[in-house]
Amino acid sequence: MSQPLVSVCLPNRNTFPYLQERVDTIFGQTYKNWELIVSDNFSEDGAWAFFKEIARKDRRVSIAQAPLGIYAGCNDCIQRAHGKYVYIATSDDTVAPDCLEKLVTALEAHPDCDLAHCRLRLVDEHGRELDNWFARGGVFALSSGTLNEFLHLRKAPFDGLLHLSGGTVYTSLTQLLIRRELFDKIGLFESKWGSVGDFNWEMRAGLVANTVHVPDTWGGWRIHGSQATSRIDQYGIEHERRIQEMIDHAIQATKSLLTPATFERLQTKWLTSALRLRRFLNGIRERQDSKLARRLFILQELLRGEFAAASHVCAKATQRPIWPETVAEWMFQIGVKTAVVPL
């Protein structure tokens, strides 16, 4: 196998307690042709001294300080990157020793793909493994079905359209190896939506890039109280507003890269349908403590002729998840008969 350079990008702000493990997982990769690019946001916890020491010992490490948030820090790293591939190593997370090797192998074998995706491993602040609901009930898992356990190809714009659900498809950036050219095509990360801004970039990527899923390795995500995402109300009005803004932005940002049929249907049908579906599902969620209230709400929406209610009832009757099925139907409308393909 060829050994193209991988740029491991590590943005950081005051995560010193996790840095030794983070860096150890990078130096411990079975794949050795990498560079580590650090962008530190003037940490006050000893992180900068730590980075200076590892840069002194290994010339593959490039460090810089800049007053930037996490996504601006990612962008700073990416702009300094020299590699064919980019891996975002969020500073409080971990990764399997064979992750880079297996993801590079997948992208080298599939030049039609710009993303390689792997499983996610959740741990707490002490490194103890947590139950991973995303692996069973997340948008990616539901849309993969039995292929979640196997190497498979996901054709654009399938993963991008799945973002119309309002839920993230690639749960963590640590699950992705990215072909560097994709940033030239769709742009860098936007910072204006705060800690949830990766949703926007991932939707842009999913709309235009094919993805290869590699099931036999993993990227890690550490859940702890000091991370920004722990303070998000995922069902609040403000979060929904941000989600819609990010969806609208992603569509307009990729307009020139989408087929006319895809963009036309997004503008005239799918956007509106998705919003109605999200509002309906939020209505069900608001009534989750009362089965009677939920059933009355569904009946009311059915009597109003609301297609979201009809889709929900059909999905329940056939035991098939509403979002992947809806998006697969949309893909068929633009001539993509099979969006998820075994390899």
pLDDT digits (tens, 9 = 90+) for 142-153: 999 999 999 999
308 part of a folded domain: yes
Give the chain's mean pLDDT. Answer: 92
Is the per-residue pLDDT at 126 higher than 70?
yes
Residues 164 and 272 in one domain: no
208 part of a folded domain: yes
Residues 283 and 201 in one domain: no
Rg (CA), the chain: 21
Q: In the listed set 212, 231, 250, which residue is the last one of a domain according to the structure?
A: 231
Angle, vertex CA 327, rays to CA 171 and CA 301, nearest 5: 100
Confidence grade of residue 228 (pLDDT, cut at 50, 70, 90) = low
Query: CB count, 10 Å around CB of 269?
Result: 12
Residues 11 and 124 in one domain: yes
Is the per-residue pLDDT at 28 higher than 80?
yes
Residues 270 and 225 in one domain: no
* Predicted local confidence at residue 58, as pLDDT: 95
Is the per-residue pLDDT at 133 higher than 90?
no
* Predicted local confidence at residue 309, as pLDDT: 87
Residues 269 and 323 in one domain: yes
* Predicted local confidence at residue 317, as pLDDT: 83
250 part of a folded domain: no
Residues 191 and 294 in one domain: no
Angle, vertex CA 37, rays to CA 227 and CA 102, nearest 5: 85
Residues 276 and 318 in one domain: yes
Is the per-residue pLDDT at 316 higher than 90?
no
194: left (phi over 0), alpha (psi -120 to 50) or beta: left
Q: In the listed set 196, 231, 266, which residue is the last one of a domain according to the structure?
A: 231
Residues 286 and 150 in one domain: no
The answer to whether residues 159 and 169 touch, using CB atoms and an 8 Å cutoff, is yes
- Residue bearing tokens 């190896």: 177
Confidence grade of residue 226 (pLDDT, cut at 50, 70, 90) = low
Residues 216 and 316 in one domain: no
237 part of a folded domain: no
| Domain of residue 183, CATH code | 3.90.550.10
Confidence grade of residue 231 (pLDDT, cut at 50, 70, 90) = very low
By residue range, what is the domain housing residue 267? Answer: 258-342
197 part of a folded domain: yes
Share of the chain above pLDDT 70, in %: 97
Is the per-residue pLDDT at 212 higher than 70?
yes
Residues 226 and 272 in one domain: no
Reference 117, options 129, 133, 99; nearest CA is 99
The answer to whether residues 210 and 178 touch, using CB atoms and an 8 Å cutoff, is no
* Predicted local confidence at residue 234, as pLDDT: 63
Confidence grade of residue 1 (pLDDT, cut at 50, 70, 90) = low
Residues 85 and 166 in one domain: yes
Residues 141 and 216 in one domain: yes
Number of folded domains that form the chain = 2
Share of the chain above pLDDT 90, in %: 76
91 part of a folded domain: yes
Reference 263, options 183, 330, 341; nearest CA is 330
21-25, 82-86, 184-188, 315-319: least confident range: 315-319
Residues 6+ apart with CB under 8 A from 176: 87, 88, 115, 116, 117, 170, 219
* Predicted local confidence at residue 318, as pLDDT: 81
Confidence grade of residue 308 (pLDDT, cut at 50, 70, 90) = confident
Beta-bridge partners for 38: 10, 63
Distance (Å) of CA 273 to CA 126, 144, 254, 260, 268: 43, 22, 20, 19, 9
Confidence grade of residue 227 (pLDDT, cut at 50, 70, 90) = low
pLDDT digits (tens, 9 = 90+) for 38-65: 999 999 999 999 999 999 999 999 999 9
245 part of a folded domain: no
* Predicted local confidence at residue 230, as pLDDT: 46
323 part of a folded domain: yes
Residues 242-255, mean pLDDT to the nearest whole number: 96
Confidence grade of residue 36 (pLDDT, cut at 50, 70, 90) = very high
Q: In the listed set 231, 249, 267, which residue is the last one of a domain according to the structure?
A: 231
Residues 192-210, mean pLDDT to the nearest whole number: 96
